[in-house]
Amino acid sequence: MGAITLTSIAGKEGSIRIPALGTVIGQFANWSLKRRGDDGAKEPSYDLRAALSYVNPHLFNHSEYAAKREIRVRINKQTEFRIDGGANINLDGTTLTMEGVTLCRL
């Protein structure tokens, strides 16, 4: 039996952290991931769209911390993923979009 790949998934819990500072710079109100298409043998990639209930835009957009952000989403009490990669990262007010992210199980 082959691996199962989700075409879309959504949830309400998630956060954006900067571990080096020990701080949370964003909390998700809700989020969704939609698969980008057939990635062949590579890990599937997704587009993330999230509404944030809290965000610190200054730390999120700070060039020194951009590569150090850690984004996590929770599907249920036992299942949490880290979101890696991404291009065209856009924070517009309390809406975050990222293209081509991958999911890493914690």
Neighbours of 23 (CB within 10 A): 12
Is 3 within the bounds of a domain?
A: no
Is 1 within the bounds of a domain?
A: no
Is 2 within the bounds of a domain?
A: no
Convert the pLDDT of each residue in 20-30 to its tens digit. Answer: 999 999 999 99
| Cβ neighbours of residue 57 closer than 8 Å, sequence gap 6 or more | 91
Residue with tokens 């998700």: 28
pLDDT at 2: 46
Determine the length of the chain: 106
Is 92 within the bounds of a domain?
A: yes
Convert the pLDDT of each residue in 87-100 to its tens digit. Answer: 899 999 999 999 99
CA dihedral sign, ordered 97, 101, 27, 9: positive
Residue with tokens 């952290």: 17
Domain that holds residue 89: 8-105
Report phi then psi at 79, rounded to 5. Answer: -120, 115
Q: What is the mean pLDDT of residues 53-80?
A: 92
pTM above 0.75, yes or no: yes
Residue with tokens 């890990």: 43
What's the number of domains the chain is made of?
1
Residue 40: pLDDT band (50, 70, 90) is low
Is 75 within the bounds of a domain?
A: yes
